[in-house]
Structure 1
Amino acid sequence: MEAKKTPKADLTKKTGMFLNLGLMISVGLVLFAFEYKSYDDGVLQDFGPIDDDFEELLDIPITEQPPPPPPPVEQPEIKEIPDEVEIEEKIEVNFDVDVQEETVIKEVVIEEAPVVEKAEEIFDVVENMPTPPGGMEGWNKYLSKNLKYPTQARRMGIEGTVYVVFVVNTDGSIQDVGILRGVGGGCDEEAVRVVKNAPAWEPGRQRGRPVRVKMRLPIRFKLS
């Protein structure tokens, strides 16, 4: 048989009140711990009056430097130039000249000074250009007879046009043979050889006088 408790002895009914009461006490203790302040009961010491010399400090003025003096202005030196001395020349004119009516005065003809051409001057264009023996037809015959196709160029299949430059002298001889544009394979050297061994040309003429002229000619190498 279970023992029955009286309603007054049942403590579970007051658990909420005890819980709230405990929380209030805990919060109060925490607040008290944070807000509690303690002070040391120390004795203030009197060090006596402090002697300061602030009033005795001198008021030092700010040093002002004067601006530098301006550079001296150099005055231009004025030199006195004496007046020019007038030189009087006495020109004696003799009017005692017998002029006869039969005297014939020749007209003065002013001729243009001849143009002196330099013998060593080389022209690019003249009135009469140099020509090979037999003209250009004779030149082509000379090339076809004397020009040899290089073995290296033939083996490598090289063909093209070599541009040769040379100077025709006043006696028709050829000198200063060079290459303006070559194709290689020995063709350039063969073109120079043929031109150097060419017969004398008819020299170029400027105002009827033979002059030195620079020529430029193409020599074509073509495989047959």
Structure 2
Amino acid sequence: MEAKKTPSADLTKKTGMFLNLGLAVAVGLTLAAFEWKSFDDGALKDLGMTDDNFEELLDIPITEQPPPPPPPPVEQPIIQEIPDEVEIEEKIEVNFDVDVKEETVIKEVVIAEAPVEEKADEIFDVVETQPQPPGGMSGWNQYLSKNLKYPTQARRMGIEGTVIVVFVINTDGSIQDVEVLRGIGGGCDEEAVKVVKEAPNWEPGKQRGRPVRTRMRLPIRFKLS
């Protein structure tokens, strides 16, 4: 038969209390060990009676420097007095070797403008005298009315308007470099170029009285009747 312990003899119930008590004692001993102070009981030394040699160390001899040399003497300018009675004479020799006669006439200098060089191949857009077709503009209109044909394609499509043709009049009046500046299509542009190329020679344009190459722009109108 197993023996039973009395509740008063059971020590397991007080293990928590003993553990807390042990921790408190250990912490207290640790803090006491950190806070513990010890002092040395040795005899104190009187530093006032010690011998020192500070004065000997600080006794620095004074270095004697020689005085700076005196500045060099400044030479004063010598002022020479000239009495008022003495006149200073200067000899000025003037030699007039040029004989001026009243009959001498000075010609007036006329500055002429440099001649303007005109290049032979230069093409002028604006000239003093404009080129003219044979018979003037009325003769030109008669030439167009006789030689200008309305293209069949433009007539069938109902195209009408103004073709602007640009070309060059040479110094001999011949026509070259015919181009369409603004066209309307339908074969009208080609017909305008053809009729200008086949035109007779014009009277060339003139600049400063000389015939020059001139660029012309002419409108050619196509209108259905």
TM category, shorter: 0.5 to 0.7
Deviations for 1:150-197, whole angstroms, at most 9, x for unmatched residues? 111111111111011111111111111111111000000100111111
Q: SS where residue 189 of structure 1 aligns? A: helix
1:220 alignment counterpart? 221
Change (3 A) 1:148 1:97: same
One-letter code aligned to 1:189: E
Q: Cα gap change, 1:101/1:222 in structure 2, threshold over 3 Å: closer, same or farther?
A: same
**Map 1:45-194 → 2, pairs under 5 A:** 108-194=109-195
TM-superposition CA deviations, 1:136-162 (whole Å, max 9, x none): 001001101111111111111111110
**CA-to-aligned-CA distance 1:85-134 (integer Å, 9 cap, x gap):** xxxxxxxxxx9899999888765543222111122221111111000000
- 1-side partners of 2:149 and 2:18: how far apart? 132
Structure 1 residue 199: Cα displacement:
0.7
- Name stretches of at least 5 consecutive residues in structure 2 with no aligned partner: 1-14, 27-95
Quickly say closer, same or farther: Cα 1:160–1:44, change in 2 above 3 A.
Answer: farther
Distance 2:102 2:160 in 1: 85
Provide the residue aligned with 1:11 in structure 2.
Answer: none
Could you say which residue in structure 1 is the equivalent of 2:10? none
TM-score (normalised: structure 1): 0.54
What are the ranges of 5 or more consecutive residues in structure 1 without an aligned counterpart?
A: 1-39, 50-94
2:93 match? none
- Opposite residue 220 of structure 2, the aligned amino acid is I
RMSD: 3.1
Q: Alignment identity in percent?
A: 80
Amino acid aligned to 1:163: I
Per-residue deviation at 1:212?
1.2
Work out whether 1:197 is the aligned partner of 2:198: yes
Q: Residue in 2 aligned with 1:57?
A: none
Residue 171 of structure 1 aligns to a residue whose secondary structure is coil
CA distance in 1 between partners of 2:223 and 2:150 (Å): 9
What is the CA–CA distance in structure 2 between the aligned matches of 1:112 and 1:153, rounded to whole Å? Answer: 56
Cα distance change, pair 41–111 in 1 and its aligned pair in 2 (3 A)? same
Q: Output the CA distance in 2 between the equivalents of 1:43 and 1:194.
A: 137
Instruction: Give the 3-state SS of the residue equivalent to 1:154 in structure 2.
Output: helix
For residues 5-47 of structure 1, give each alpha carbon's deviation from its aligned partner in whole angstroms, at most 9, with x where no partner exists.
xxxxxxxxxxxxxxxxxxxxxxxxxxxxxxxxxxx95985989
Q: Whole-Å Cα distance in 2 between the matches of residues 42 and 155 of structure 1?
A: 129
- Counterpart residue identity of residue 212, structure 2: V
Q: Do the aligned partners of residues 126 and 42 (structure 1) sit closer, same or farther apart at CA in structure 2, a change above 3 Å counting?
A: farther
1:41–1:183 distance in 2 versus 1, CA, 3 Å:
same
Q: Helix, strand or coil: the match of 2:138?
A: helix
Deviations, residues 52-104 of structure 1 (Å, cap 9, x unaligned): xxxxxxxxxxxxxxxxxxxxxxxxxxxxxxxxxxxxxxxxxxx9899999888
Runs of 4+ in structure 1 over 2 Å off: 40-47, 95-112
